[in-house]
Amino acid sequence: MKKKTAPRSETADFMIFLVKLALFVIILRSFIVSPFNIPSESMQPRLMVGDYLLVAKWPYGYSQYSMPLSIPLIPGRILANEPERGDVVVFKAPPNANDDYIKRVIGLPGDIIKVTNGAVFLNGTPLQRKKVEDYTHLVSPNSQCFAQYFETTNEEGERICRYPQFEETLPNGKSYRILDVIGDSAGDNTESFVVPDGHMFMMGDNRDRSADSRFPAEAGKAIGMVPQDYLVGRALVSVFSTDGSAEWIKPWTWFTAARWNRIGDGFE
């Protein structure tokens, strides 16, 4: 006679559900997509403080930095692929690989990079750059002006920041908008950099507000050359954006603070 098994309790079923859910989230965040929020102005105009995006994990392969908390479960880097110039990528910042940064790939192994009077030279040739319409955004808790003289008002009388904007084009044809508004800033004139094997030269689109590969790696500040092994993933799509004016005790502000026009923007 077959022995009857005792039915599982609701508590046991709930715990099993939580374990399955946790495994699903770990797999999703480690191998498919993970969320990332923008904490600084270094990637304006493409990204603003308060933007939330999804980062694709599969384009460049997997390493311990693909895992939550960088758990060292993956030896080395598997299914590795090199990024393309112009990709917007999330990576662990040198020298300690503790913090997540987001920048644009400008140089790959063997490239020679130099910045002269704000113009980026790649292998001796300046990147194409042309002036386009000014970049503007509303003044908000998440988006203040660099300086008072950039602040003005729009036709509705709202406070806005207005900056000169340029379109820069890489040799592979990829174009993007940049800001370069402060004359003779710290990164406008550099030495020549040769990108080592297995590394990348990264720059922020907001050239005057980005501590990137133009400066030596220092924890919590600039990043120097970035090892490709430190890659986390490629920016995929913006899923939410807030101007920082929301208050928890005022639920209606959760909606009025949202920058709806920035949601759904993809990255080419």
Q: Known catalytic residues? A: 42, 103
Residue with tokens 């929020």: 37
Q: How far apart are CA 203 and CA 88, in angstroms?
A: 10
Q: How far apart are CA 98 and CA 96, in angstroms?
A: 5
Q: How far apart are CA 168 and CA 172, in angstroms?
A: 12
Residue with tokens 């920041």: 161
112-116 and 128-138 as β-strands: parallel, antiparallel, unpaired?
unpaired
Q: How far apart are CA 185 and CA 160, in angstroms?
A: 23
Q: How far apart are CA 253 and CA 131, in angstroms?
A: 37
Q: How far apart are CA 214 and CA 268, in angstroms?
A: 24
Q: Please say whether the beta carbons of 78 and 61 come within 8 A.
A: yes
CB atoms closer than 10 angstroms to residue 46 = 21
